[in-house]
Structure 1
Amino acid sequence: MPAHYSLSETEEAVKRRLGDIAVRHDALAAVSNIHRAASAVRQHLENSALRPAGLTWSAFVVLWVVWIWEEIETRHAASEAGISKGTLTGIIKTLESRDLVERRQHPDDGRRALLKLTPEGLSLMERLFPAFNGEEAFVVEELAPGEALQLADTLRRIVTHLEEKGEERRGDLLGDEPVPPRPGGRRRSS
């Protein structure tokens, strides 16, 4: 049995498994392929553009967010990067040890912290991003002219839909029940 299946093999296996189960196959295919594409793109960018700079995907995304916003609260950086505050803490420690990011107390509230790139971090992003973008261009080079922008617009509509209506949908599905916490790696001892 092969350890890795092609996209076509996986799609055929899904068709066999689902059989006559009444599902929206178009939605299944779209969301599955969003996930597959995101994973493939992330892996390619980590292995091509980021590894030579000694960065993980998450560390790069944090640097990107701080670079774009110039100075940002840690809680907003975590949200923009799509990671937990705990994960951000570990990434920031690593980036601080490499003198790429500096953290300081918020002037209005000592419980909050602000992030800013150091001159070394700024220099790294100015050198790294053109190479990163070159790999982004490689990722979409099989698309016809205009298709990359059309894809970006389609994905933007999905994200906007979830931003605008996702909470309401979760409320409809869960009612008054609170969203259960994400399962962690450690289990509570009894």
Structure 2
Amino acid sequence: MTGQYTLGQTEQAVEERLSGLPIDRGAMAAIGNLYRAAGVVRNHFERTVLAAHSLTWTAWVVLWVVWVWDDIETRHAASEAGISKSTLTGVVTTLEGRGLVKRRAHPGDGRRVLLSLTPRARRLMDELFPLFNSHETQAVAALSSADLETFTTSLRKIIQHLETLDGTAPAEDPNT
């Protein structure tokens, strides 16, 4: 369940509320649906895939980032996960307490901290990611291959455009 109202009811209420305002309804609908879809996806995955492993979406994303990049500095892990450094600290403390993540000082600068997965977390990711991916496949099953490619390309364009506007586009070498 995503909320009290269906998507159609919400869209109708928004249209009524905004009647007469000079706004770009297409842009509003695209971003609103993107936000709503992200919430629905997150909730679905937390209920169906992650709950059995007592993982939140944020914890999963942090595990994913560290799994992909092996040793990763905390500031880069937070950025890649799309969370603040303080949120990352709490998530890493929880994951570390569960024996899934290790912290260690950066060999070149003791003020910086590197994250890595424990062998237990690597086994968990090897087991859990195929199941997670099967739910990703289910989530986009209503899209044709062409629709999926267009959707993915469109999301990349939005991300790159906003990163350029905000001056947050990643540098070529994230380890510098």
What TM-score results when the alignment is normalised by the length of structure 2?
0.91
Percentage of identical aligned residues: 51
Residue-by-residue CA offset, 1:138-163 (whole Å, 9 max, x unaligned): 11111122222221111000000011
Unaligned 5+ segments in structure 2 are 169-176
Q: Partner amino acid for 2:16?
A: R
* Deviation sequence 1:101-146 (CA, Å, 0-9, x none): 1100011111110000110011100100000001111111111222
CA deviation string 1:30-84 (max 9, x = no partner):
0000000000001101111111111000000000000000110001101110111
- Secondary structure at the aligned position of 1:112 is classed as strand
1:8 is aligned to 8
Corresponding letter in the other structure for 1:60: W
Q: How does 1:9-158 map to 2 (within 5 A)?
A: 9-158=9-158
Q: Report the Cα offset of residue 12 of structure 1.
A: 0.5
- Secondary structure of the 2:107 match is coil
Q: 3-state SS of the aligned residue for 1:102? A: strand
Deviation at 1:7, TM superposition (A): 0.5
Q: Whose radius of gyration is greater, 1 or 2?
A: 1
Q: Partner of 1:115: helix, strand, or coil?
A: strand
CA distance in 2 between counterparts of 1:55 and 1:95 reads: 9
Aligned length: 166
Q: Distance in 2 between matches of 1:102 and 1:167?
A: 31
Amino acid at match of 1:45: F
Name the CA distance, whole Å, in 2 between partners of 1:167 and 1:4.
Answer: 38
**Whole-angstrom CA distance in 2 between matches of 1:34 and 1:164:** 20
**Residues of 2 paired with 1:165 and 1:89: CA distance?**
28
SS of residue paired to 1:83:
coil
CA distance in 2 between counterparts of 1:60 and 1:166 reads: 26
C-alpha separation in 2, matches of 1:156 and 1:21: 30
Once residues 25 and 127 of structure 1 are traced to their aligned partners in structure 2, the CA distance between those partners, rounded to angstroms, is: 43
Secondary structure of the residue aligned to 2:66 is: helix
Query: Which range moves more in the overlay, 16-25 or 145-154?
Result: 145-154
Runs of 4+ in 1 over 4 A off after TM superposition: none
CA–CA separation in structure 2 for the residues paired with 1:9 and 1:48: 26
- Pairwise CA RMSD: 1.2
Q: Separation in 2 of the partners of 1:132 and 1:162?
A: 28
TM-score (norm 1): 0.85
Secondary structure at the aligned position of 1:50 is classed as helix
